[in-house]
């Protein structure tokens, strides 16, 4: 069976893989996440997912029988990619753009074994209730928005803003579990490896 490496520092992605019973090793993969000129949001997240997987695979000491999973999530408003906020003003501007509106969350996943690389992208729609500036400021001071695409975490304190979701909850968190499990299966990595057969 192939060994899985996760090219992500995200605790959420680690939790989701653990949740479906897939053992893995985290490997760091720093890449430039700057969008290219005229790059579509789907192309952007897919390129970053592939880039993270390839960068991490390149640093493995024993790459035989190894697969590397890379993922990237982006929040899209009016065709514009919202990354991680650079400061409080940026975070508040993001939250005000999301408030009372529906936005798209794209999560791309790429899996490579060094010979082939498969990529998938899952789109979900999230609807926010209205948010006041005072509430948005309090949320910023919680510390949660600082490293989150779009400046919020649906699985954390930011869940209070979410009035509706159409799509995959786990994809909005950072890893579409259903689709990722199917992708892993195509590379010979089964889920539920921690189950004992009775």
Is 87 considered catalytic here? no
SS (H, E, C) the chain: CCEEEECCCCHHHHHHHHHCCCCCEECCCCCCCCCCCCCCHHHHHHHHHHHHHHHHHHCCCCCCCEEEEEEEEEEEECCEEECCCCCHHHHHHHHHHHCCCEEEEEEEEEEECCCCEEEEEEEEEEEECCCCHHHHHHHHHCCHHHHCHHHCCCCCHHHHHEEEEECCHHHHHCCCHHHHHHHHHHCCCCCCCCCCCC
Q: Which residue has the tokens 């975490």?
A: 153
**Token pair of 93, please?**
């501007």
Catalytic residue, chosen from 32, 72, 87, 90, is 72
**Token pair of 96, please?**
């005000």
Q: How far apart are CA 82 and CA 32, in angstroms?
A: 16
Catalytic residue numbers, as ranges: 72
């Amino acid at each position: 069976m192939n060994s899985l490496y996760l090219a992500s520092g995200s605790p959420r992605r680690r939790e989701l893989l653990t949740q479906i019973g897939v053992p893995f090793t985290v490997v760091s993969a720093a890449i430039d996440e700057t969008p290219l000129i005229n790059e579509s949001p789907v192309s952007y997240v897919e390129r970053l997912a592939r880039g993270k997987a390839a960068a991490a695979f390149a640093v493995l000491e024993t790459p035989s029988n190894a697969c590397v999973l890379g993922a990237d999530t982006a929040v899209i408003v009016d065709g514009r990619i919202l990354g991680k906020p650079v400061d409080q003003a940026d975070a508040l501007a993001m939250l005000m753009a999301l408030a009372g509106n529906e936005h798209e969350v794209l999560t791309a996943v790429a899996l490579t074994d060094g010979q082939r690389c498969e990529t998938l992208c899952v789109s979900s729609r999230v609807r926010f209730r209205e948010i006041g500036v005072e509430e948005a400021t309090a949320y910023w001071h919680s510390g949660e928005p600082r490293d989150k695409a779009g400046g919020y975490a649906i699985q954390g304190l930011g869940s209070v803003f979410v009035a509706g979701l159409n799509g995959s909850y786990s994809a909005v968190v950072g890893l579409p579990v259903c689709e990722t499990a199917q992708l892993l299966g195509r590379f010979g990595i089964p889920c539920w490896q921690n189950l004992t057969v009775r």
